[in-house]
Chains A and B, each alone.
Chain A
Amino acid sequence: MFARVRTPAAPSPAAPLDTAPRCLANVRVIAALIVAALAIAACGEDLPSTSQWTSGHDIVRGEAPLAYISDNGSDTVSIVELRTMTLRARLPVGLDIVQREAPHHLVAAADLGALYVGLSNVLPSGLVGIHADHGGGDLDSYVQRLDIADLSPDGWVRVDSNLGDIVRVPGTSRFVTSHFDLKRALDVITAGDPIEDASAALVIIDGETMQRIASLTICIAPHGVVINTAGLAAVACYGEDSVAIVDVAASPPVLRARVPVGAAAQALPPPTYGPYAMTLSPDGSRAFVGLSEGRGYRVLDMVSASMMPGMVADVTGAAFFGAFSPDGATFYGPTQQLDTIVAIDAATLAPIASVTLDAEVCVAPHVIEYVAALGELMLVCEGDHRTAGTVVALDPATLEVRAFVAVGVYPDGISVVDEVSW
């Protein structure tokens, strides 16, 4: 076709329209040929799409300090501007868009530009299946890394099942996960297998490479973890009424001791005390052990790796994750059923104050964080596990509620960032 148009017929002298000079006619022919050539060339190619994908992840801005809250029941992380108690965003997390993965506790590491979320892969009560309830799941858990500015996914690593807590090793980019594996314990006991098989592990991951770098079996149903600056971890072992002392700075990590939390400690479930939550004092010398069955706090001496005699604070409900005042003099603890906040003299364990929270403000208090920048306590309340939970700002001196804000369903973890550079 191209050859044919390149060979025009001789012009007819009688053509009435052919009145232009011959050179001009040639120009027209050449122009026509160019148009045709362009047309032919264009027809061999599709018009490319100019549409552009967008990530959908916008930077979440707000004034520091910002709190990141793991919403176990809605598979989200809520970001709260604490100064104004404003919910800045509630964004989805997890590896699977559809399946519930129950984000359970989290660590915001602004220096690494990342948020590390424990995906426990268990479901709140009321749903059936292999996910089961906290501690009863069959599936492996994961730690997901998200960009701290916009919560876009940035990596993951598989750990063991029934993730209980995630804590950063101070001064490093390593993180420790505990695994509240009640199912393993009950399966072993039911089957009559050796009780050693009932113990679950502490897993250590590298937060930069997102690789699993160590695993150490420590005790039955470990949950709350604290780690001091020397790299010594204390882990609440719910299923055997003990606290495991682990050197996570050593390579490989070493189990130093398993310390019974009281005289009536049980080596097998069901526990008498049910140590569940751990809170480290500001100087790292002591850890308060929250007892979910024994309804109280007991104190671990991190230096001697022993429980401190007589240091027992009885409370009216299951004892959860607390906080210290900056000077370490006062301990604040949340309890469930009854839902209260208690203030305790950290040196003597004498009660200072106790408040029962209004259900409209807080149901099932789970964890307290002291936010030095504001001089306030931030309390995370699970709620009824079907509707939104809350974050509550409390006056440390009076335990009065200053403000509260609704977050996602079944919130259970808080991590605060003091400086925002994004």
Chain B
Amino acid sequence: MTRVRAALLSSVGALLLLAGCADTTPQERGAALFVAPDLSGSPTNAASCATCHATGAIPADWIPVGGTLAGVTQRPSFFGGGELDLRTSINFCLRRFMRAPAIEPLAEDDPRGRDLLSYLETLEGPADAVPWTLGSIADDLPPGDAARGAVVWDAACRGCHGQPRTGAGRLSSLVAILPDETIEEHGADARLRTIEKVRNGQFYEAGGDMAPYSIELLSDQQLADVLAHLGLAE
């Protein structure tokens, strides 16, 4: 009976171990952080890492603005060679695209950052640097096709901007309703401003939270198609 009792007690212990600890591996906590907007520490942020990044092969119906992070921890550089340090890159994302108020949202010893790193290390993929080229801003795109643009919109834009003209389903009330708000603000320049926003994102004093679409992820033709879909054809 003592053996039975001992076995039972050991089993209880093992069950407790399993029940109590199975959901707290660094990788799993990191995976939870990956989809958590509050990682940035901003009460007004609605985006998470998963808003902009795939974690494996990119599905055909999605054009994530940040591409895939498969293999990211093995890459020699990030942002098309603009940064060599992964943690600096992540902090840059948190500040610029997720409204983090802190200068260094994830300090080197922050356990959340290390959990996130543990998760990212599970995303296997090529160790090569990923090309990421920002296009020049010009209003000389090829003619667009509105029907194709609707498909591109769903894959690239809808996740944040929701429905064109109504914004239904947009990521948050801070995200612009397109194209109406751009036309309201920029009038005849709305097309050029939209191109600029897609290609430069928030940078070069454009403002907002948007990340830029590289020409590798979104071609000039696809951008022209979206403009046609929005009624911003030349």
A: which residues have CB within 8 A of B? 5, 8-9, 11-12, 15, 17-18, 20, 25-26, 28-29, 31-33, 35-40, 42-44, 46-57, 75-76, 91-92, 94, 96-99, 126-131, 152
Contacts and interface: CB of A to CB of B under 8 A. Distances in A.
Given A44-B20, A56-B84, A36 B13 contact: yes
A43 to B, nearest CB: 3
A385 to B, nearest CB: 12
A26 B113 CA distance: 46
B2 A98 contact: no
Most-contacted residue by chain A among B2, B3, B14 (CB, 10 A): B2
Interface in B178-207: 201, 203-205
30 contacts: A8-B5, A11-B1, A11-B2, A15-B4, A17-B1, A17-B3, A17-B4, A29-B9, A35-B9, A36-B9, A36-B16, A39-B20, A42-B21, A43-B20, A46-B21, A49-B26, A49-B117, A50-B26, A52-B114, A53-B108, A53-B117, A56-B83, A57-B85, A75-B82, A92-B83, A92-B84, A97-B82, A97-B88, A98-B96, A129-B205
Contacts of A91: 84
Q: Tell me whether chain A's interface is mostly helix, strand or loop, or mixed.
A: loop
A132 B174 CA distance: 30
A51 B76 contact: no
Nearest 3 CB-CB pairs, A to B? A43-B20, A39-B13, A56-B84
Given A18-B2, A32-B5, A129 B204 contact: yes
A36 B5 CA distance: 12
Interface residues of B, number: 54
A51 B17 CA distance: 23
A26 B6 CA distance: 10
B134 interface: yes
A265 B154 CA distance: 62
Contacts of B121: 51
Given A98-B212, A128-B137, A36 B2 contact: no
Contacts of B115: 49
Contacts of B2: 8, 11, 18, 20, 25-26, 28-29
A28 B4 CA distance: 10
A36 B203 CA distance: 56
A48 B205 contact: no
Nearest to B73: A51
Contact of B16 (A17, A39, A50, A129): A39
Nearest to B23: A46
B86 A18 contact: no
